[in-house]
Amino acid sequence: MNSPTSPHLPASQGGTPVRAKFLPISVPWIGEQEKQLVLESLESGWITTGPKTADLACRIAGLAGTKHAVCVNSATGALHLALEAMGVGPGDEVITSPYTFVATVNVIEHVRATPVLVDIEPDTFCIDPAKLAGAITPRTKVVITVDYGGHPCDYDAIRAHTQPRGIRILNDAAHALGAAYKGKPVGSSALADVTAFSFYATKNLTTGEGGAAVTDDAALAERISLLSLHGMSRDAWKRYTDTGSWYYEVVAPGWKYNMSDVAAAIGLGQLERFDEFQERRARIVARYHAGLGDCELVRLPGARANVTHAWHLFPIGLELEKLAIDRGRFIQELRAENIGTSVHFIPIHYHPHFRDSLGLGPGAFPVAEDAYSRAITLPLFPRMSDADVDDVIAAVRKIATAFRR
């Protein structure tokens, strides 16, 4: 039979798209449990920070293996308050990665400290411990590690540089809830002094918007908690219940970063299936590896032997030298095949603000820049079916083959 279109021809050139229906890069999976718990909160008469937020904090501390957890309205808020609580301010330097979401670096500016960027490792896209040593000065107060995509940084190698100098580690673990390094859960004080998680809509566990800071340090936890609600010395829900008191004192000009019980209810529902979510992510990754492992036109992300990867992202790297199109065009072609993708991340120093404030241009971080030029993040979320995964594999192979140089 003669078909007017060919399955091998890119959809952008009139071929049949791999999928009829668009596949987004990530979709949250909200189940009956989440709906039930949200309803319970709505009907309880207590919808802001209260018992559900406290319950979620306990469970996040349990997952992260820490004594304390403070739930807030975003990972950005958790990172900001952690820097405040650690006393970071003007004149201090904070080292982090250029291959991250802007929130990681914005918070350094929020406390009027100076961001110092250090290039990443080519395999994990995490901060390169060997290069970290050269960026440390007497002013370095904190290193913000970023467990990129859910792969923990090399904490032993990082701590070999920071610990002797009394430099603290704040982990931006927005991608890494459920990950582990040498058997220690991300969050553990063996890795970082404070760890921030994100419960944004696309993250491995969501509350719609939300985040948490975890730590073993009671004083830091107390300070983060205080600063998350105006610097008031008592939580509102304790004030207004009959066991509490109307009295409070403001001991610092804090922020309004508290989590609502409606959001916490979503998180509590999600937590019941979190292990299942993580297992599904790992199975999808295995399917991607099986389906694309032999394709010489793309590089696949891996996990080092000593980590448990949280698999928040599946970023492939195009072998640009073997392709006739660039990354931007490859994304357009996948879009025409009805596959949604994204790029994680635009290097920090490529953004006009940081380019100007840090005075850095292209060439400053060759590994991050090279990774960025090749990067495409493929769909990865627990609700994807095996058929969805196979469509992504087919589309990547189709476009790579069609545009082989």
Ligand X SMILES: *Cc1c(COP(=O)(O)O)cnc(C)c1O
**Which chain residues interact with ligand X by CB under 6 A?**
74-76, 100-101, 103-104, 146, 172, 174-175, 198, 200, 211
Q: Which alpha helices (H) appear in 122-196, and where do they start and end? A: 129-135, 155-162
In the complex, what is the shortest distance from the CB of residue 122 to ligand X, in angstroms, rounded to a whole number?
19
Please say which residue, 103 or 395, places its beta carbon nearer to ligand X: 103
Question: Looking at this protein, which amino acid is placed at residue 233?
Answer: S
Q: Which alpha helices (H) appear in 241-385, and where do they start and end? A: 261-272, 274-292, 327-336, 352-358, 366-374
Establish whether the linkage from the previous residue to 365 is cis, with ω within 30° of 0: no
What is the distance between the alpha carbons of residues 263 and 261, in angstroms, rounded to a whole number?
5
What is the distance between the alpha carbons of residues 10 and 93, in angstroms, rounded to a whole number?
49
Sign of CA dihedral 344, 94, 188, 218: negative
What is the distance between the alpha carbons of residues 321 and 343, in angstroms, rounded to a whole number?
19
Please say which residue, 73 or 395, places its beta carbon nearer to ligand X: 73
User: Is-catalytic flag, 203?
Assistant: yes
Angle between helix axes 327-336 and 386-402 (nearest 10 degrees) is 130
Please say which residue, 101 or 381, places its beta carbon nearer to ligand X: 101
Beta strands in 107-262, from DSSP E residues, in sequence order: 114-117, 140-146, 168-172, 180-181, 184-185, 194-198, 211-215
**Are the beta carbons of 137 and 118 closer than 8 angstroms?**
no
Please say which residue, 128 or 391, places its beta carbon nearer to ligand X: 128
* Beta carbons within 8 Å of 15's beta carbon, 6+ residues apart: 5, 6, 7, 8, 9
Say which of 52, 141, 203, 398 is annotated catalytic. Answer: 203
Please say which residue, 344 or 374, places its beta carbon nearer to ligand X: 344
**Are the beta carbons of 207 and 263 closer than 8 angstroms?**
yes
3-class secondary structure, 309: coil
Lay out the sheet containing 314-318: strands in order across. Answer: 298-299, 314-318, 375-378
Please say which residue, 76 or 398, places its beta carbon nearer to ligand X: 76
* Residues involved in catalysis: 203
